[in-house]
Amino acid sequence: MYMESLPILVALFDRIDIFMLIMVRVTAFFIFVPILSGMSIPVEVRLAVAFFLSMAIFFSGMITVAIHYDTVAGFVMLMLTEFMAGALMGFMLFFIFNVLLFAGHFMDFSMGLAMASVIDPIQQIQVPVIGNVLFMSISALLVVNGGLHYFIYVFATSYNILPIGAANIIGNVPLVHFIVLQFVSFVLLAVQIALPIIGTMLVIDISLGVMVKAVPQMNVFVVGMPFKVLVGYFLMFSVMIPMLGQIYMAIFDHAFDVLIEVIWGMTYG
């Protein structure tokens, strides 16, 4: 057993610098990637997953180009470049999936639950009630349907497109332009997800305004707020829950496309 593993150890220590550069990109990716970046997952588990994925990439044969550097500073710059490349890929996925929390803020505000919030067990932060339900549901679908495996696979194969040291991030105008456009897409996608509830709440607000003008004695806050919450939860269970599959596919497809575009975007320049 020892003699069989000896060539593997020799290959690893012979190119330990390449392995360290791979490990840096993988670890940076896992800092932000959805679910695996959650605080509920122990750091030791995430580091172990990053280590074994780095080993798989190292021995897969994808890394065929040796990286040359003359000084310690050059090696440090390579590590920073790989860290930024992995972090950018993971952050864009994290950014797209957080559209659910942003849409939840829209829905909570329109329902009158703007002051209510709960603790997200994955990110350990205060999040809107409706947004947390959507985020947890979509995260479960991401794991069950193997979407997380697709993201990890695309990241691992990114070395075919973006070898070590080839990432161009600083001063990359097309990449910056693409990232800025994603902020616009982020808002549009959040509005599309929340539209069934915020549209209905808008109709209710207009109706309550007309009723107040017709019956000035009616206390709109006593009548309107509980009614909006009741209608909001009814829409949540009758419209939003049945649409979870479509919402998941829309977010997954968009995140998948963004990940591919970011990988190619870092090759410009």
Residue-by-residue DSSP string for 115-133: T--EE-TTT-SEE-HHHHH
Beta strand extents in the chain (DSSP E only): 118-119, 126-127
Torsion of CA 61, 62, 63, 65, to 10 degrees: 100
Residues contacting residue 169 through CB under 8 Å, at least 6 positions apart: 81, 84, 85, 88, 175, 266
Q: What is the pLDDT, as a whole number, of residue 105?
A: 82
Residues contacting residue 189 through CB under 8 Å, at least 6 positions apart: 99, 103, 250, 251, 254
Candidates 199, 185, 182; CA nearest to 240 is: 199
Burial class (CB in 10 A: 0-12, 13-18, 19+), 230: exposed
Beta carbons of 255 and 93 less than 8 angstroms apart: yes
Name the residue ranges covered by the structural domains of the chain. 2-265
Q: What is the pLDDT, as a whole number, of residue 262?
A: 93
β-strand partners of 127: 118
* Pairwise CA distance, residues 15 & 37, whole Å: 28
Return per-residue pLDDT of the chain as tens, 269 residues.
445 555 655 565 666 778 888 899 999 999 888 877 766 677 788 888 888 988 888 888 777 665 666 777 888 888 898 999 999 999 999 899 888 888 888 888 777 776 666 565 555 666 677 877 888 888 888 888 888 889 999 998 888 888 888 888 888 888 989 999 998 898 899 888 888 888 888 888 888 778 777 777 667 666 677 778 788 888 888 888 888 889 899 999 999 999 999 999 988 76
